[in-house]
Structure 1
Amino acid sequence: MPIQLAKSLKLHRDKVWSIDCSNGMLATGSTDRSVKIIDASQYKLLDELDNTVHKKAVRSVAWRPNSYVLAAGSFDSTISIWNREGEEEMDNSWEMELLAIIEGHENEVKSVAWSHDGAYLASCSRDKSVWIWESDEMGEEYECISVLQEHSQDVKHVVWHPYLQLLASSSYDDTIRIWREYDDDWESAAVLNGHEGTVWSSDFEKSETQLRICSGSDDASVKVWKYVRDDEEEQQEWICEATLPAVHTRAVYSVSWSEDGHIASAGSDGKLVIYREAQPGQWKIVDQQELCHGVHEVNVAKWIKINGKTMLATGGDDGYINLWNWDTSSTSNKNN
């Protein structure tokens, strides 16, 4: 089996909504309003951020690249920014301090994400908007440089391209929008239509040679979209290159594209599914785990790196974080 459960951690009293990993440290956000910091290699809880900071569920967490700065977006319409105390000394102690509270959204913050260089923080909300924030080097001061309001419904998720200053947002309006910087402002570069339900999540391919994104939807499908070209009006043209093999029976809440080219999806049906591209535009199921959080829904699945090893992390309604070993050697000949 290419995926096997390595560790199951009961960290939260309620639903786990979000997971992010950097420098071997996992951050998790939950309906119980807390954020937990875990040393993923030792399965050790290092810190629990003050759960009085947010008045409602923590919906999204994101590490700033190459730092210990963490953003947490909440249903209370705010974003908290944290940093590790004593980071310069790099001692064995671990405690996060609150740097800032960002306000601006008029409703629940659904997702936060840092650009690949850490220059921008994006956030999205039930208020139908996407905000782009610029911060100082210390991560203490934040200025909103653009408010993007072209979605017609609740915006569920934002994700940056791993190398380019491109942002994707997924929405209750059944679309994905691609945003780019243009003349010192941000604009909608493309609208991806094709899902027949809420788009809960999307993730860019980790490639420097082609531009693609995958998406998961309330319509139980996972799709791959490919950039084709810019037209004369300078809008990007994207096509739906593939709809992955149908295996989910209910909403797909989370998709994640690994560095080695595999896509993971998870959702309301409790399944964790791994796909690989057998040939251009044609995808195969590598493996799937039924009920990977028991009878509970799976809200997030994310590829992570622990000590150079690729793993999968999932979080569910049961309050658990499950860490899955990933064996690529068993995928090369399966389902050909």
Structure 2
Amino acid sequence: MQLFIHRQKTKDYSDKRFPDAMIELVESLALHKDKVWSLDDSNGLLATGSTDRCIKIVNLKSSRQVIDELDDTVHKKTIRSVAWRPASCLLAAGSFDSTISIWGKDDSSNDYTSTMADFEMELLAIIEGHENEVKSVAWSYDGTYLASCSRDKSVWIWETDEMGEEYECISVLQEHSQDVKHVVWHPSLHLLASSSYDDTIRIWKEFDDDWEAAAILNGHEGTVWCSDFEKSESSIRLCSGSDDRTVRIWKFAGDSEDDEQEWTCEATLPQVHTRAVYSVAWGPNGLIASTGSDGTLAVYQEVNGVWNVVAKTKQCHGTHEVNVVKWTTVDGVTMLITGGDDGHVNIWKYTNL
């Protein structure tokens, strides 16, 4: 199978002024005793994972209080990644102890109250297979598949049942030559992206009942820490963040059913970060947010095919590194959520000026 990637000359956006929007800190939640590595939200519930081995569930809709603390004896090491299964109250957590835990609520009610006594999740399964630290877990859009990646250089795809209690590994993907940092699914296709210490991104899809690399994206000049798909049905694009301090946009040209996928590096976004970019998030609003080792939180907007920085805030967790950023909507208000080395989760309001 042939794999294609073309590079495009980087455009110069350095003369663009900002802000065109404002990022305002709404609340800083001191949730953990150590680094916050990952967070994910669904149906007004925020899950967070930390070096302290704790997973906390926060009600974002009203109280912003912790309504559950999952058993911190299940994992022996850092919780590196947490992910909600779409349209359910099922949570996957990947750990540096090489395992993945699956948690579920004891009933199907969506009436989440603000007290811990009213909400309780239980351990449903422990998934084993990786030979080293699990760095990321992610659910497919329909909840059929769970993907995981590891320091063991592999990406695993697990198939699960409706209840989320049984897991079968249907593919072990071992084409990365180094530590795999992150996995993410397309929002409406069974298309998976993995980011690696080998400076590449790989796009995976199913061919004749087997999963294979449909494309290798080359261009970053350092570890690729993260990527995220555009939330659009009209095109297939991916943004990525790297140790080389850049955020890049990759575009797929062709039919999503094509066996041979051709991707191009469509743009390198305006240079904002002075150190590694650890996390990128492509929101349903079309905006991209990035953050990383320099503690800067930036937001980018595309207008007529040109990307500009529209908002930026430095030291958004004080002097600490920021490991993750996510877009969310709470009661109709567009929010950003970040997690940092200070153990805090910060909630930011994004406003167009």
Q: TM-score, normalised by structure 2?
A: 0.90
The 2-side partners of 1:227 and 1:88 are apart by 39
How big is each residue's C-alpha offset from its partner over 1:186-243, in whole Å with a ceiling of 9 and x where there is no partner? Answer: 1100000000000000000001001100000000000000111379x93211010000
Q: 1:74 and 2:95 equivalent?
A: yes
Deviation at 1:85, TM superposition (A): 1.9
Alignment of 1:209-224 (within 5 A): 209-224=234-249
The 1-side partners of 2:144 and 2:76 are apart by 28
Counterpart amino acid of residue 29 in structure 2: L
Q: 1:7 and 2:32 equivalent?
A: no
Counterpart amino acid of residue 37 in structure 2: W
How big is each residue's C-alpha offset from its partner over 1:228-259, in whole Å with a ceiling of 9 and x where there is no partner? Answer: 1379x932110100000001000000000010
Work out whether residues 226 and 242 of structure 2, in 8 Å CA contact, stay in contact via their aligned partners in 1.
yes
Q: Percent identity, aligned pairs only? A: 69
> Which of 151, 158, 180 lines up with 1:133 in the alignment?
158
Segments of 5+ residues of structure 2 without an aligned counterpart are 1-20
The 2-side partners of 1:151 and 1:230 are apart by 25
Counterpart amino acid of residue 119 in structure 2: W
> Which of 108, 112, 135 lines up with 2:137 in the alignment?
112
Query: Which structure's relative contact order is higher, taking Cα pairs within 8 Å and 6+ residues apart?
Result: 2
CA 1:230–1:153 in structure 2 vs 1: closer, same or farther (change >3 Å)?
A: farther
Work out whether residues 21 and 305 of structure 1, in 8 Å CA contact, stay in contact via their aligned partners in 2.
no
The 2-side partners of 1:13 and 1:85 are apart by 28
The 2-side partners of 1:318 and 1:177 are apart by 32
Counterpart amino acid of residue 62 in structure 1: A
The 2-side partners of 1:229 and 1:134 are apart by 28
The 2-side partners of 1:127 and 1:73 are apart by 14
The 1-side partners of 2:259 and 2:112 are apart by 50
The 2-side partners of 1:129 and 1:45 are apart by 34
How big is each residue's C-alpha offset from its partner over 1:117-139, in whole Å with a ceiling of 9 and x where there is no partner? Answer: 00000000000000000111111
Task: Give the aligned partner of residue 200 of structure 1.
Answer: 225
Counterpart amino acid of residue 78 in structure 1: T
Task: Give the aligned partner of residue 66 of structure 2.
Answer: 45
The 2-side partners of 1:65 and 1:227 are apart by 25
The 1-side partners of 2:229 and 2:153 are apart by 22
Q: 1:34 and 2:54 equivalent?
A: yes
Task: Give the aligned partner of residue 323 of structure 2.
Answer: 299
Work out whether residues 24 and 307 of structure 1, in 8 Å CA contact, stay in contact via their aligned partners in 2.
no
How big is each residue's C-alpha offset from its partner over 1:300-328, in whole Å with a ceiling of 9 and x where there is no partner? Answer: 0111122333210000000000000111x
The 2-side partners of 1:307 and 1:70 are apart by 23
Work out whether residues 314 and 322 of structure 1, in 8 Å CA contact, stay in contact via their aligned partners in 2.
yes
Q: 1:177 and 2:202 equivalent?
A: yes
> Which of 11, 32, 36 lines up with 1:16 in the alignment?
36
Q: 1:59 and 2:80 equivalent?
A: yes
Segments of 5+ residues of structure 1 without an aligned counterpart are 331-336
Deviation at 1:182, TM superposition (A): 1.3
How big is each residue's C-alpha offset from its partner over 1:155-195, in whole Å with a ceiling of 9 and x where there is no partner? Answer: 00000000111000000000000001111111100000000
Task: Give the aligned partner of residue 173 of structure 2.
Answer: 148
CA 1:43–1:143 in structure 2 vs 1: closer, same or farther (change >3 Å)?
A: same
Work out whether residues 73 and 80 of structure 1, in 8 Å CA contact, stay in contact via their aligned partners in 2.
yes
SS at the partner of 1:152? coil
Work out whether residues 85 and 95 of structure 1, in 8 Å CA contact, stay in contact via their aligned partners in 2.
yes
Task: Give the aligned partner of residue 213 of structure 2.
Answer: 188
Task: Give the aligned partner of residue 245 of structure 1.
Answer: 270
The 1-side partners of 2:143 and 2:255 are apart by 27
Work out whether residues 59 and 112 of structure 2, in 8 Å CA contact, stay in contact via their aligned partners in 1.
no
Task: Give the aligned partner of residue 340 of structure 2.
Answer: 316
Counterpart amino acid of residue 307 in structure 2: W
The 2-side partners of 1:305 and 1:183 are apart by 38
Task: Give the aligned partner of residue 313 of structure 2.
Answer: 289
Counterpart amino acid of residue 80 in structure 1: S
The 2-side partners of 1:234 and 1:101 are apart by 34
Task: Give the aligned partner of residue 83 of structure 1.
Answer: 104
SS at the partner of 1:235? coil
Aligned residues: 327
